[in-house]
Amino acid sequence: MAQATETLRVPPAAARQNMGPADTALAALTVIAGALVLAAIVMALRVAPDAAGLTPDETAAQRIIYLHVPSAWLSLLAYGVTMIASILYLRSSQRKWDEVALSSAEIGLTFTVATLASGSIWARPAWNTWWTWDPRLTTYTIVFLLYVSYFMLRGAMEDPARRARFAAVYGIFAFLSVPITFFSIRWWRTIHPVLFDAKNFGLSSGMAPVFFFGLAAFTVFYVVLLWHRIRLEQAIDEVEALKEMGGY
């Protein structure tokens, strides 16, 4: 019980002056992830061979695949992590799972925007249009909207426990609806012919190592981002607790 003249007792975490083992590990991993992503970018731009049979514009644009596909894969991985964390939160009511769900959804949404933007930039030279309603793109737009709605739901709720529960329920529905959405739209598209072929992801033998290296680099990048974001969320919680103790 702090008296008026005493300073606030801060939780141990906030008073840490020295880096603990977890902090060192995260710092090291951050440096590694940064180096890997940089290497992946260099390899994508310089090392990977040109694709065959394309115009000069398309040849340059084709290199977007090394950014575009990992972003898409990571966004779906992130949303899957959100669903699993949501289920674990509902079962245990432990705040940490809500932190994981929220952090992963936020990172996933960022990668979703990156995927949509990079895909659109690629489409312009390759298909001569910024956008088309083919099944994959349409489904992916719905995925984007699902997680925008996830954050609108979170923003509309004040009570932290309720917000976490509702977001968890929505996170489960959102991820489960993705495959069903894809199948329903793809079936629709078999009736109305698609104007453009689905992107051809045939990777020549020279491209495959660059591609998979990029995929691995981005996955490490995701883990680092997630870890940092969870720590940020924990810091936010500590600030809220401090504010309550101080009577704000």
Interacting residue ranges for another protein, rule: CB under 8 A:
90, 142, 145-146, 149, 152-153, 156-158, 162, 165-166, 168-170, 172-174, 176-177, 180-181, 183-185, 187-188, 191
**Least distance CB 197 / another protein (angstroms):** 21
Please answer whether residues 133 and 185 qualify as being in contact, where contact means their C-beta atoms are separated by less than 8 angstroms. Answer: no
Please answer whether residues 86 and 97 qualify as being in contact, where contact means their C-beta atoms are separated by less than 8 angstroms. Answer: yes
**Least distance CB 191 / another protein (angstroms):** 7
How many Å apart are CA 100 and CA 89, to the nearest integer? Answer: 9
Q: In whole angstroms, what separates CA 163 from the centre of its chain?
A: 21
**Least distance CB 126 / another protein (angstroms):** 26
Comparison of 60 and 161: residue with beta carbon closer to another protein: 161
Comparison of 41 and 178: residue with beta carbon closer to another protein: 178
Q: Given the structure tokens 């919680």, which residue do they identify?
A: 237
**Least distance CB 173 / another protein (angstroms):** 5
Comparison of 30 and 138: residue with beta carbon closer to another protein: 138
Q: In whole angstroms, what separates CA 204 from the centre of its chain?
A: 28
Comparison of 55 and 94: residue with beta carbon closer to another protein: 94
Say how many residues make up the chain.
248
How many Å apart are CA 221 and CA 212, to the nearest integer? Answer: 14
